[in-house]
A = this chain, B = another copy of it.
Amino acid sequence: MKIDSVDFFYLSMPIVTTAGDGSQDALVVRVSAGGHAGWGECEAAPLPSIAAFVCPMSHGACRPVSASVLGEKLDGPDDIKRMAATLAFNSMDLLQAPHTWSGIEMALWDLLGHVRGEPSWKLLGHAKAYPKTPYASVLFGTTAQQTLERARDIRAKGFRAAKFGWAPYGDSLEGDIAQVAAAREGLGADGILLIDAGQIFADDVEAASKRLASLNANKVTWLEEPFGGFSYEAYGKLAARSGAVKLAGGEAAHNRYMAEHLIDYGHVGFIQIDCGRIGGLGPAKQVADYAVKKGVTYVNHTFTSNLALSASLQPYAGMKDSWICEYPTQLSSLATELTTTRIAPNAKGEIEIPDAPGLGVEINAKTLKTYAVDVEIKVKGKTIFAPPMV
């Protein structure tokens, strides 16, 4: 097959707020080859990601993403790997490229899966897919009381594990202590409690350290992203003092090296990979294999649609010991309605990874129209991007 086209659907809620909710807009990708279609989603700013695909070439090492994809041969997984390597070289100076490519790469695995009648996780080399224990991923309440109620509600819905994140965490030590205690109380003594600091401490190890006592007292399983994605030294120093609480991070990784460095130098106990940023399923699988070697637990990172959720589960589907998965429970209507397929906990409260061709998720064509953002990019009088036909 030959890659005939790559279409970008920029979708958005009518109103986008400053909340840390990544499901307020979406960049959905459709790749067509040999009469088949595959779907993916970039976890990225839509307009710059589209621009990275269609922009004019700047020089040999700063070519648009399209130059490494359109017209390329696609007969098997090796072709995806080859395109990734070509792109890494030809677009090395185009910073946004990995985010754009991530959604395309996902769509390529989906497409290949449809052609071969196999789930993407099989094409990635897994013999079997093990169900994962989902953690409900939510934002902290603005007050501890609200967090308590949110935690109770999650427990009532049947979740054993929950992650609370972002503001107001980091605003004050007392506030943080109250928030974590409220989350624990609401979730119950046997719940698995995770905390996401949303990089609020930048690289201030002392500020983050002050939270360790309350995190340990409340039996928190991991503290996620206390620092910026590149602050390996700060991660390493905090990890040395964090006791039973492990550090988690990696969602910012836009290549496998960044994730591996966070393991080697940052000493995280959980490595969280967003397939919509790291360059898709291929590099995510490499990180999953690397994590096993290093005794680190791989976890998906996803805060958007069930398409992105399914993609995020593929790289570690067959790894039984990597038992937990992020499961967003506060999605925008756009993200919820993006797929007609719904991935929900089974009777045991576990998430089963779709055992269907490709990513195993059907796109809702109506959603692509309802939430479409009208965008036009013109260069030298010629339209180089306009919303594609659904």
Contact = CB atoms under 8 A, between A and B. Distances in A.
A259 to B, nearest CB: 10
Interface residues on A, range: 35 or more
A106 interface: no
Interface stretch (A16-24, A125-133, A145-153): A16-24
Interface in A342-390: 373-381
Interface in A94-112: 94-96, 98-99
Given A59-B20, A59-B21, A379-B375, A44 B93 contact: yes
Interface stretch (A33-41, A45-53, A74-82, A173-181): A45-53
Contacts of A166: 60
Contact of A48 (B63, B96, B258): B96
B98 A95 contact: yes
B55 A48 contact: yes
Nearest to A20: B60
B48 A199 contact: no
Contacts of A83: none
Interface string A1-43: 0000000000010001111111011000000000000000001
A56 B16 contact: yes
A21 to B, nearest CB: 5
A211 interface: no
Contacts of A252: 92-93
A35 to B, nearest CB: 31
Contact of A22 (B58, B85, B376): B58
Interface string A291-307: 00000000000000000
B56 A12 contact: yes
A134 interface: no
A230 B252 CA distance: 14
Contact of A51 (B22, B47, B373): B47
Q: Which of A20, A25, A43, A59 has the most CB of B within 10 A?
A: A59
**What 10 A-B pairs have minimum CB-CB distances, sorted nearest first?**
A230-B257, A47-B55, A18-B60, A96-B96, A51-B51, A48-B51, A376-B378, A48-B52, A47-B51, A45-B94
